[in-house]
Amino acid sequence: MFAPDETRQERRSRPREGRVPPAREPLGPAGPEIEDEDDDFELPVAPVRRLLSLFIAGFSAMLGVGLIFGAQTAGPNARTSYAVVVFGVQVLFVLVWTMAMRPPSVKIVAGVGLLTAVAADVAAVYPTQAGMGPLAIAAVIGFVAGFLGQMVTGRARMRVTESLGATLLIVIGVVAFATLIVLTRMPQGTQAIVVCLSAAGVALFVARLLDMVAPVPRIAAQVPRGSLGVVVGAMAGTVTATLWGSYLVGFSPKEAAFIGLAAAGAAVLADLAVGFAEAGRELAGDAPTMWLARHMQGPLGGFALAAPVAYAIAAVFLT
């Protein structure tokens, strides 16, 4: 049975006849590797609603026309009428942006924003010498009052960063619109309003119209905007300002082109930033805001940013 020279250890290690050693299972899982499910996940593409783009374009045009023609009624002793027009836009800005951002203690933020708007308008109309000093004081007081008011509530203390951001945006926005009143008190300030706000209004109007016709190429899947509209809108606003520079006293076409480019670029970029912010809130799982407020937010933000641009340009180039 065994070889005479086979040792006991070798006999134990030798398998018996007819006995098949069991196959060992592989340590790792057999078959192809399991692919990560996240690789196949795609974010949904936001649809482009053409009638909505047309509505926003029309709202942008009406807002620009109101602010521009209101400035024409402001004389040396009749700036209160334009302050009333600006205050109406400020009220709309406060309501729309507070509903869109939904900060802690919404009523406190909205109330402080409206009181800051009144204080900024008064500070723009009644001081003997026009300037940004009184507006800056109104902005600081409004921000501090809004912050302290929100800290009273426990919910605001838990979301202090969001509270500060919302209060700051609302206060800066209403004060920015008040700079238009100060501009009417400066030499050639009304002309600066016409050039800058015309450029901003045309840029927003054309950008939204092109989003209705050809929203390509898409900037992001979640933002229903096209790069073509943003670029062509800024160019159209610049051309509009250049045309005004050929007719208005104190401007040359070259100067008006640079001024219009700054105002139009600021307006369309602010409008685009609002779209990205809204998409970010939706991706984070936040409940959608009120339909009307969500889509009026962009044009209001665009004009709020174009107003201080007009003031800065008038202060630097026209004085």
Q: Model confidence over 241-284: pLDDT tens digits?
A: 999 988 887 788 888 999 899 999 999 999 999 888 887 777 77
Helix (H) or strand (E) run with residue 44 in it: none
Q: Which amino acid is at 66?
A: G
Query: How far apart (Å, rounded) are the C-alpha atoms in residues 270 and 265?
Result: 8
Contact by Cβ (8 Å): 118, 87? yes
b/e map 296-312, b = 16+ CB within 10 Å: bbbbbbbbbbbbbbbbb
pLDDT of residue 120: 95
Query: Phi, psi (5° rounding) for residue 298?
Result: -65, -55
DSSP structural state of residue 247: T
CA dihedral sign of residues 62, 295, 82, 240: negative
- Count the neighbouring beta carbons within 10 Å of the beta carbon of residue 193: 27
144 has a pLDDT exceeding 50: yes
Give the chain's mean pLDDT.
82
pLDDT of residue 10: 54
pLDDT (average), residues 199-218:
91
User: Distance between CA 319 and CA 312 in Å, rounded?
Assistant: 11
Mean pLDDT of all residues in 143-160: 75
Give the pLDDT band (50/70/90) at residue 48: confident
Dist CA 37 CA 34 (whole Å): 9
Quick one: tokens of 317?
Answer: 């180039």
* CA pair distance 168, 188, nearest whole angstrom: 30
The pLDDT score that the predictor gives to residue 13 is 53
The average pLDDT across 279-299 equals: 76
Q: How far apart are CA 220 and CA 235, in angstroms?
A: 22
* In the predicted structure, residue 133 carries a pLDDT above the cut 80: yes
pLDDT value of residue 32: 47
Say what the pLDDT of residue 248 is: 86
State the Cα–Cα distance between residues 191 and 64, nearest whole angstrom. 14
Beta bridge partners of 226: 218
- Dig out the tokens for 62 from the structure: 């009406």
Q: Minimum mean pLDDT among 38-47, 68-77, 122-131: which range?
A: 38-47
Map out the domains of the chain as residue ranges. Answer: 55-72+188-319, 75-183
Q: What is the mean pLDDT of residues 220-239?
A: 90
Percent of the chain with pLDDT over 90: 43
Q: What is the pLDDT at residue 157?
A: 60
Beta bridge partners of 218: 226
CA distance 122 to 129: 13
pLDDT at 18 over 60: no
Distance in angstroms (rounded) separating the CA atoms of residues 6 and 2: 7
Kind plus residue range of the DSSP H or E element containing 109? helix 106-125
Q: What is the pLDDT of residues 78-111, one digit of tens each?
A: 678 899 999 999 999 999 999 888 887 888 889 9
Tell me the pLDDT band of 231, cut-offs 50, 70 and 90: very high
Q: Is the pLDDT of residue 57 over 50?
A: yes
